[in-house]
Amino acid sequence: MLNGKSSMRIRIFAVMVVLCLACAVGTAGKKSLISPQTPKKQSAKKKRYACPMHPEVTSNRPGKCPKCGMTLRLVPDASEPGTGANLPPVTAADLPSMSSSKIPDVRVYDQNGRQLNFYSDLVKGRTVAINFIFTTCTGVCPPMTATFRRVQQNLPERTPPIQLISISVDPATDTPERMHEFASKFNAGPGWTFVTGDKNEIDLLLKALGAGVSNKNDHTPMILIGNEMADYWTRAYGLSAPTALIQVITAAADHK
């Protein structure tokens, strides 16, 4: 038989056990209702940089494009990878240095077989827009050339007129005859010259214009735009909207 004091101790212990169990159950229930805490600081979203001329060239840090040497631009979050959409406009700081004095006066041939000196006959004293194509291209060349045609159709009249130039990056294949056929396919009008010539001289010209490539399929989808008299040069993405290209070209023509 337990005495009174022992019995009282047992009852008190039992009550304490019951209270502890109730407390434990209540705490567990509350925890189940609380969502996991989010970190105080979420990891920063990685930045993405892309080349204005080669949107497929991207990096997670600033730098230069290995294909054309242009400064990589910070891509807005809304831009789709590889499209070049919404990239900030090209500025002089993005461009490899370019000057009229660097353009060689090499011998070239136009789509009609006429021999010309590139700088003297096509660039000097003019505003020019130059793209780079080859006639067997099945990628960017046809749409770039079609865009050039729409640009030509909508350029405002000027004196002297703005000169469009398409230079072959495959001169060994692109004879004047082939260039003439290619120009006719896109209804190229007067003031648009398709250029080919001796491979060594064309390669020298392409290198000077920042468009030299060892493989024709790696050629730059760009338009080089210059006002020779003001020695002002800039670039634009070759698949930009014609209206956007016209704005860049006319701005170059007005540059003092």
Going by C-alpha positions, the residue among 111, 108, 142 that lies closest to residue 123 is: 108
- Residue 162 token pair: 């703005």
pLDDT at residue number 35? 47
Residue 92, Cα to own-chain centre: how many angstroms? 15
113 and 239 share one domain: yes
- Return the beta strands (E) in 100-140 as ranges: 107-109, 115-117, 127-133
pLDDT at residue number 4? 56
What is the residue-level pLDDT of the chain in tens, covering all 256 positions? 545 555 566 565 555 655 555 555 455 544 444 444 544 444 456 788 877 666 778 888 888 777 666 677 787 764 455 444 444 555 544 555 688 999 999 999 999 999 999 999 999 999 999 999 999 999 899 999 999 999 999 999 888 899 999 999 999 999 999 999 999 999 999 999 999 999 999 999 999 998 888 888 878 788 999 999 999 999 888 888 999 999 999 999 999 8
Q: Which of the 8 DSSP states describes residue 238?
A: T
Residue 223 lies in a domain: yes
Q: What is the CATH number of the domain that holds 190?
A: 3.40.30.10
Q: Which of the 8 DSSP states describes residue 231?
A: T
Give the domain-ending residue among 31, 56, 90: 90
219 and 144 share one domain: yes
Q: What end-to-end distance do the CA atoms of the chain give, in Å?
A: 115
70 and 179 share one domain: no
Helix axes 141-154, 242-254, angle to 10 degrees: 60
53 and 153 share one domain: no
138 and 241 share one domain: yes
Give the domain-ending residue among 28, 60, 90: 90
Distance between CA 116 and CA 106 in Å, rounded? 8
Distance between CA 161 and CA 50 in Å, rounded? 34
- Residue 250 token pair: 């006319």
149 and 60 share one domain: no
76 and 116 share one domain: no
Residue type, 15: V
Total of domains in the chain: 2
78 and 182 share one domain: no
pLDDT at residue number 56? 72
Which range of residues forms the domain containing residue 154? 97-254
Distance between CA 1 and CA 7 in Å, rounded? 9
121 and 184 share one domain: yes
Residue 11 lies in a domain: no
Residue 109 lies in a domain: yes
Residue 37 lies in a domain: no
Distance between CA 115 and CA 105 in Å, rounded? 12
Helix (H, G, I), strand (E, B) or coil at 247: helix
pLDDT at residue number 221? 85
163 and 242 share one domain: yes
Residue 30 lies in a domain: no
- Pairing state of beta strands 49-50 and 73-74? antiparallel
134 and 158 share one domain: yes
Q: Where are the alpha helices (DSSP H) in 1-92?
A: 4-33
Residue 15 lies in a domain: no
From residue 89, alpha-carbon distances to 162, 172, 181, 252 in Å are: 22, 35, 34, 14
Question: How many CB atoms are closer than 10 A to CB 83?
Answer: 13
Residue 22 lies in a domain: no
Give the domain-ending residue among 32, 63, 90: 90
Residue 162 lies in a domain: yes
141 and 51 share one domain: no
Distance between CA 16 and CA 13 in Å, rounded? 5
DSSP states of 75-107: PPTTSPTTT-TTPPPP-GGGSPP--GGGS---E
